[in-house]
Amino acid sequence: MSSPPPAARTLGLLGGMSWESSAHYYRRLNKLIRQRLGASHSAPLILWSADFEIISGLQRADDWESLGEILAAAARGLESSGAGALLICANTMHRVADPVQAAVSIPLLHLAGVTAEAVRAAGFRRIGLLGTRFTMEADFYRDRLRAAGLEVTVPDAPTRAEVHRIIFAELVRGRREASSRLLLLEEIGRLHERGAEAVVLGCTEFGLLVSQNDTIVPLFDTTELHCRAAARWMLGE
């Protein structure tokens, strides 16, 4: 009797924050599973996608309790639909990772935890961090990196504000401006000059604008790292 074909486990995606990066998650996860299993295999995924205007409005209002409730309810829905693990397809929304995890009995694959593991495995200890102002300024993300023994440097206040603007005014709306790409690359260089051995691209849209081919400074694309970790979980590794 022939053995059944290999199959991946079902993953739940909390997406739409923004859908530009969630679409990248969807494509990348499917490509990774096809690369590993071959033939016409694809990733078994269940996607919940938010209206980002609502999400971003609550972020601006600093109403993280409501945001946690929204994602927790969505996570319960994904679990009841058959997901065996969850991804929050956004860096900033990991600020509510704890209430999301508490709402379900399946694991949440934490993006900052995956990133910290990759940085340490590469032998780096001093890193620069780029992301939304929430990610760069609040403790929820930096503390996760520091708990792994990493020293974290962020840009100065004016640059943090401009990077935040680029994300919300351009990248989440599908715009890719050459001037913004140049600013990010210049800031990567400045962080390196300030002692960062590598730079974490702590916004899921950044990989749509810059890549390792653009700089000699080692970059850690959190979206790619998250997708690879998720693919390993799906394959039971």
Radius of gyration for the chain, computed over Cα atoms and rounded to the nearest angstrom? 18
The span from the CA of 106 to the CA of 83, in Å, is: 8
In this prediction, residues 4-11 reach a mean pLDDT of 75
CA distance 96 to 140: 9
Sign of the Cα torsion 1, 232, 97, 59 reads negative
Can you tell me the distance from the alpha carbon of 188 to that of 199, in angstroms, rounded to the nearest whole number?
7
Per-residue burial over 128-157, b if 16 or more Cβ lie within 10 Å, else e, is: bbbbbbbbbeeebbbebbeeeebebbbbee
**Above pLDDT 70, what percent of the chain?**
97
| CA gap 131, 145 in Å, rounded | 14
- Distance between start and end Cα atoms, the chain: 26
Q: For residue 147, give the amino acid letter.
A: A
Structure tokens, 59: 């972020």
Checking if the pLDDT of 3 tops 50, the result is: no
pLDDT tops 70 at residue 2: no
Q: Cα-Cα-Cα-Cα dihedral of 109, 110, 116, 122, to 10°?
A: 30
pTM of the model: 0.93
Task: State the pairing for strand pair 198-201/126-130.
Answer: parallel
Report the SS3 class of residue 176: coil
Tens of pLDDT along 42-66?
Answer: 999 999 999 999 999 999 999 999 9
Please tell me the predicted confidence (pLDDT) of residue 4: 46
pLDDT at 208: 86
**Mean pLDDT for the stretch of residues 191-220:** 95
Q: Helices (DSSP H) in 167-218: which residue ranges?
A: 178-193
Least confident of 121-130, 155-164, 203-212: 203-212
For the cut 50, the answer to whether the pLDDT of residue 1 exceeds it is: no
Q: If pLDDT is split at 50, 70 and 90, which confidence band does 78 have?
A: very high
* pLDDT of 81 over the 90 cut: yes
CA distance linking residue 231 with residue 37, whole number of Å: 11
Pair of tokens at residue 146: 């520091």
The mean pLDDT of the chain is 94
Q: What domains can you pick out in the chain, each with its CATH number? A: 11-110+225-234 (3.40.50.1860), 111-221 (3.40.50.1860)
